[in-house]
Every structure is written in C-alpha cells, then in structure tokens.
Amino acid sequence: MRRHPLAWADVALVEASPALVFSPPHSSPITHHSFLSFSPVVAYLKQPTLVDFPGRLAAIFFLSGCNFRCGYCHNAALLAAHRDGLPWERIEHAATHFRKHWADGVVITGGEPTLAPELPELIHRLKRHGFAIKLDTNGSRPDVLAAVLPEVDYVALDIKCSPATYPRLTGFAEVGRVAQSLDLLRASARTYELRTTLLEAFHTDDDLREVGQWIDGASRLVLQPFLPREDLPDPALRHAPRTSPQKLRAAAELLRPHVRELICRD
C-alpha cells in the first residue's frame, strides 16, 4: 500500500488538515441507511500526485480495513474497518474537483480495498467521471479482483515474501488466494505491477529465490526499501534500520531474471 502518514482526527482537525480529507469518527454499527449513504472512502489526498499511477496525474482515495497484519505497514491507521466512509456526495464533489484540475487517474488504496462491499460501486462512479483506475491490493480476494478487473486500468499487487513465509510476515495463511490473483493478472490484458518491500533481516537470498520462482514471467516488479517509523504496528521495527542500497541491489540481481522489468524505488 501507499506510504502516506495517516492519523485519525476529529472533524475540526480534519478540516484543517493540509494534505488529507478524512471522514469523521463514527462508532455506531453500520446500518442499511449508512450503507446506502456512505462510500467506502475514509480519506483522500487533497492534491493529486504524479508518483502513484505511472503516466497519470492521480487522486488518491483510501479505504479502511485489512486482513493482513504486517508489522511494517505504513497505513496502520487503516487496518481496522470500524468507520463509516465519506458521503457519496462528497466523493462525487471531489471527483468533479479533481477532473477540473487536470487529474486523469484515481488510485484506490488502503487498507485492503477488496474487502469493501462498495468497491465496485466506487469504481463505477469514478469511471463515469472519466478517470483511469489503479487498484492497490494484497491479492487476498481474487474473486473480487476478477469482478472489478474489467473497469480497472492498472493493478498493483503486493508480493510480500515467498509463499511459505506469508503466515509469519503477514498473519495471512491462505496464500493460495494471492497466487490466484497473480495468475489472474498474468492472464489478463490489463497493466499491472508486483511490489515487494524488502526487510533486511527477513528477506534472505533463499526467500527471494523462492519469490522469483513464484512470480516468474511477470511483467513488472517494483522493489522498495523498508522505512522505519514511530507508528509502525510492530514496535520492534520502529527503530530498525532502513533497507540498505546494497540489499536492494542484491535483491534486484536475484529477481531480475524472473521478470520483464524490474524497478528499484527509494
């Protein structure tokens, strides 16, 4: 998922936020009325970016809830799905605003967007505004991915580690679902990238070799360094060293033969 520092705030602070628009805190149970009235979007960046959707000026919309528990997650505030989203009217207004200011893409990220029942509706509404859609996903719900893929222009699928080590790193044991999502992207005509965040102490050469065999033939792999932060879910990682350039280069050498394009981001 995208690395934006997120922190929930009350309504007054939300409106004063220089970069993000959040939905207000809401603790009541979801009702039929709230399902119809509220979108799954809990926050969006006020300004579009050029770095999240290749070739596009893109607005970034955040959804909450995730079925992974990665200790190095940079959007830990979005792990729990316990909030109503912004009203659909607010999303329509934001979409119109972004289109008037030259944005031609939208990135839907999280959290894990495919957990939201309203994801197809969100994509459909944004497509009506003329946006190209990029979806960030951990791949855990291939059925949802297959359903929305016809309206999605670009998919970024996280490949966390080798299949055998998924439960230890993510807390998610059904790695076969991620494999199904990977196969779905390989078979589709849509543009996609795979993304791996390298943890110096976790991703051994043997683990990376297994990753290479798993993703062999993929179109694009993006490697990115682990970045320590004070709000990471795992306290042990908050002051761990950033992934070294040497580790990134070594990983790239191991994985490059397995993909058509490899990109290292810092």
Q: What does the pLDDT look like over 103-118, one tens digit per residue? A: 999 999 999 999 999 9
pLDDT for the residue numbered 24 = 54
* Percent of the chain whose predicted confidence (pLDDT) is above 70: 85
pLDDT over threshold 70, residue 201: yes
Pair 159, 132: CB distance under 8 Å: no
Q: Judging by DSSP bridges, how do beta strands 58-63 and 105-109 pair with one another?
A: parallel
Confidence of residue 190 (pLDDT cuts 50, 70, 90): confident
**Whole-model pTM over 0.85:** yes
Q: Which position has the token pair 């439960």?
A: 167
pLDDT for the residue numbered 13 = 28
Cis peptide bond upstream of 105, omega within 30: no
pLDDT over threshold 70, residue 65: yes
Rounded to an integer, the average pLDDT of 166-180 is 98
Confidence of residue 23 (pLDDT cuts 50, 70, 90): low
The pair of three-digit structure tokens given for residue 202, joined into one six-digit string? 């976790």
pLDDT for the residue numbered 266 = 78
pLDDT over threshold 50, residue 148: yes
3-state secondary structure the chain: CCCCCCCCCCHHHHHHCCCEEECCCCCCCCCHHHHHHECCEEEEECCCECCCCCCCCEEEEEECCCCCCCCCCCCHHHCCCCCCCCEHHHHHHHHHHHHHCCCCEEEEECCCHHHCCCHHHHHHHHHHCCCEEEEEECCCCHHHHHHHHHHCCEEEEECCCCHHHHHHHHCCCCHHHHHHHHHHHHHCCCEEEEEEEECCCCCCHHHHHHHHHHHCCEEEEEEEECCCCCCCCCHHHCCCCCCCHHHHHHHHHHHHHHEEEEEECC
CATH number, domain 11-264: 3.20.20.70
Non-local CB neighbours of 206 within 8 Å, separated by 6+ positions: none
Q: Judging by DSSP bridges, how do beta strands 58-63 and 132-137 pair with one another?
A: unpaired
Mean pLDDT of the chain: 89
pLDDT over threshold 80, residue 138: yes
Rounded to an integer, the average pLDDT of 80-99 is 91
